[in-house]
């Protein structure tokens, strides 16, 4: 037993020394150069910085490498490569779903950072949102619809594993997106189903928890389709629930179509650690948990579109990932607390054994090991957008020139061809 304890202590000292050198080099520090380059739109430099960083495609952070890389490639206009990285990332999520016993055991001795990063729940879901937008960018509506529907499928799979479900259990943005794709394909009844589910979710968790109101454009689209299908009772109820938004809503006149622009804005709030240290008896106990604090204010400028010199049409906020990420992590807090409690008990037992075997030196070593290794895992997909906005503008069939503004900046001018009764999608 003495030899085993000595081996543990020797390993502990080596680990503490290693952490003393690398503790400041957190994930956020590892990717600092990449983020600076990305936010200054130096995408080639950002990609080079990612490849030079300790975040490697074959290490325990391989999922994060793929996720960060996908966003850089997308910003460079390399959409197919970006999509390939996201598809590979989705496969890594599935591979890491079943964690080996030995790797899971390491998290009880050290911390969550000891094992491969499998992604936060909202990140696993966001992979499909970004894939859907990637396919929309190339007008592959069938593939975009599949990915939009997989968002809620993934959410359902995640929540099946929890005795107490996450509050983020249905994605309204995904329903809205799928509904628009159905409508653009002429599948009106399927569009109505998803639009209705989207409205229900916005009016529930999204409004109460995620600070996202039901988009005006969604309500207007649902009302138009009710009118088109002659579902007058449904239309009457919808107007009664939203009297200030819905007036005399009519179907799009013959020869009209719509331009839809999906804007992505900002970068998601950074995952941080919240911690405190307490002396309990002869031991020092450190509690450390990951948190995401949504920004208190959002200085987003004008977001929307202008079609051929007409007046500016503002976009609707449709997804607030900062709020979703924060609440999802709060839901995971209880699970993390239970695991942290078990880890602290194990570390306490090691410290007590070390004290018996080696006296005060063993006690000190055990305390240092326990305190230094008890640190929250702050790894996260840092380049994920924080907000999604949707612009919808009815136009005559034909060619149109669209000025797109996102977050106060003119991000581009696009020529769009719109069919009568159809929807032309753009992703900014």
Mean pLDDT to the nearest integer, 270-297: 67
Q: How confident is the model at residue 16 (pLDDT cuts 50, 70, 90)?
A: very low
Of 69, 99, 102, 103, nearest to 86 by C-alpha is 69
9 or 27, which is more confident: 27
DSSP bridge pairs for 423: 258
Mean pLDDT of 268-295: 69
pLDDT of the residue at 317: 95
pLDDT at 300: 63
Q: Is residue 279 pLDDT above 90, yes or no?
A: no
User: What is the distance between the alpha carbons of residues 159 and 181, in angstroms, rounded to a whole number?
Assistant: 26
Q: For residue 321, what pLDDT band results from cuts at 50, 70 and 90? A: very high
Encode pLDDT of 189-207 as tens digits.
Answer: 999 999 999 999 999 999 9
Has residue 42 been placed in a domain? no
Distance CA 243, CA 252 (A): 20
The pLDDT mean for the chain works out to 82
**Residues 222-229, mean pLDDT to the nearest whole number:** 93
Domain that residue 372 falls in: 2-30+99-214+252-427
Q: Residue 400 forms beta bridges with which residues?
A: 416
Query: What is the domain count for the chain?
Result: 1
Q: What pLDDT does 344 receive?
A: 57
Structural domain includes residue 326 = yes
What pLDDT does residue 244 have?
83
pLDDT value, residue 342: 54
Whether residue 374 contacts residue 111, with contact meaning beta carbons closer than 8 Å, is answered with yes
Whether pLDDT at 383 is above 50: yes
Check: pTM over 0.85? Answer yes or no. no
The pair of structure tokens assigned to 337 is 């607390």
Within-domain flag for 168: yes
Segment 242-258 shows an average pLDDT of 76
- Distance separating alpha carbons of residues 194 and 148, to the nearest angstrom: 11
Tell me whether residue 264 is in a domain. Answer: yes
Of 249, 197, 246, nearest to 228 by C-alpha is 249
> Does residue 83 lie in a domain region?
no
Higher pLDDT, 59 or 367: 59
Least reliable range by pLDDT among 19-33, 42-56, 113-127, 234-248: 19-33
Q: What is the reported pLDDT for 254?
A: 72
* Number of neighbours of residue 358 by Cβ within 10 angstroms: 17
H/E stretch holding 265 reads: strand 256-265
Of 337, 375, 350, 340, the C-alpha closest to 283 is: 350
- Give residue-wise pLDDT tens across range 79-117: 999 999 999 999 999 988 765 444 444 444 444 556 788
Q: Does residue 155 form part of some domain?
A: yes
User: Which of 249, 293, 354, 288 lies closest to 2 in space, CA to CA?
Assistant: 354
Give all strands (DSSP E) within 353-397, no chain letters. 387-396
pLDDT tier at 148 (50, 70, 90 boundaries)? very high
Q: Has residue 94 been placed in a domain? A: no
Q: Does 14 reside within a domain?
A: yes
- pLDDT above 90: residue 372: no
Mean pLDDT for the stretch of residues 334-362: 58
Q: Which two tokens stand for residue 121?
A: 């729940």
Higher pLDDT residue, 163 or 407? 407
Reported as a single tens digit per residue, the pLDDT across 294-317 is 876 555 678 999 998 789 999 999
Q: Measure Cα distances from 269 to 311, 330, 418 in Å.
A: 33, 14, 37
Is 391 or 276 the better-scoring residue by pLDDT? 391
């Amino acid at each position: 037993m003495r030899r085993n304890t000595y081996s543990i202590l020797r390993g502990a000292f080596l680990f503490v020394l290693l952490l003393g050198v690398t503790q400041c080099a957190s994930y956020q520090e590892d990717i600092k150069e990449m983020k600076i380059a990305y936010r200054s739109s130096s995408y080639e430099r950002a990609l080079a910085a990612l490849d030079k960083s300790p975040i490697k495609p074959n290490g325990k952070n391989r999922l994060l490498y793929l996720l960060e890389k996908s966003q850089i490639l997308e910003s460079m206009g390399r959409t197919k490569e970006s999509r390939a990285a996201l598809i590979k990332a989705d496969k890594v999520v599935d591979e890491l779903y079943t964690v080996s016993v030995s790797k899971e055991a390491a998290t009880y001795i050290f911390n969550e950072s000891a094992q491969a990063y499998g992604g936060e729940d909202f990140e696993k879901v966001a992979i499909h949102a970004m894939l859907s937008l990637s396919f929309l960018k190339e007008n592959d509506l069938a593939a975009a619809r599949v990915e939009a529907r997989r968002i809620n499928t993934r959410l359902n799979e995640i929540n099946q594993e929890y005795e107490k479900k996450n509050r983020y259990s249905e994605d309204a943005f995904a329903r809205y997106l799928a509904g628009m794709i159905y409508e653009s394909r002429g599948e009106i009844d399927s569009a109505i189903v998803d639009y209705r589910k989207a409205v229900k979710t916005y009016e529930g968790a999204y409004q109460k928890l995620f600070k996202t109101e039901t988009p005006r454009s969604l309500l207007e689209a649902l009302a138009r389709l009710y009118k088109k299908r002659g579902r007058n009772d449904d239309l009457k109820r919808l107007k009664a629930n939203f009297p200030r938004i819905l007036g005399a809503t009519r179907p799009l006149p013959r020869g009209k179509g719509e331009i839809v622009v999906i804007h992505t804005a900002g970068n998601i709030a950074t995952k941080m650690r919240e911690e405190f240290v307490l002396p309990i008896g002869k031991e020092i106990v450190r509690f450390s948990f990951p948190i995401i604090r949504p920004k208190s204010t959002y200085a987003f400028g004008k977001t929307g579109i202008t079609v051929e010199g007409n007046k500016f049409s503002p976009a609707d906020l449709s997804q607030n990932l900062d709020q979703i990420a924060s609440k999802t992590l709060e839901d995971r807090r209880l699970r993390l607390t239970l695991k942290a409690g078990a880890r602290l008990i194990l570390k306490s037992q090691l410290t007590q054994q070390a004290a018996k075997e080696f006296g005060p030196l063993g006690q000190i070593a055990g305390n240092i090991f326990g305190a230094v290794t008890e640190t929250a895992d702050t790894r996260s997909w840092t380049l994920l957008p924080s907000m999604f906005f949707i612009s919808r503008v009815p136009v005559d069939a034909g060619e149109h020139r669209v000025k797109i503004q996102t977050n106060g900046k003119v991000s581009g001018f696009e020529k769009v061809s719109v069919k009568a009764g159809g929807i032309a999608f753009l992703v900014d």
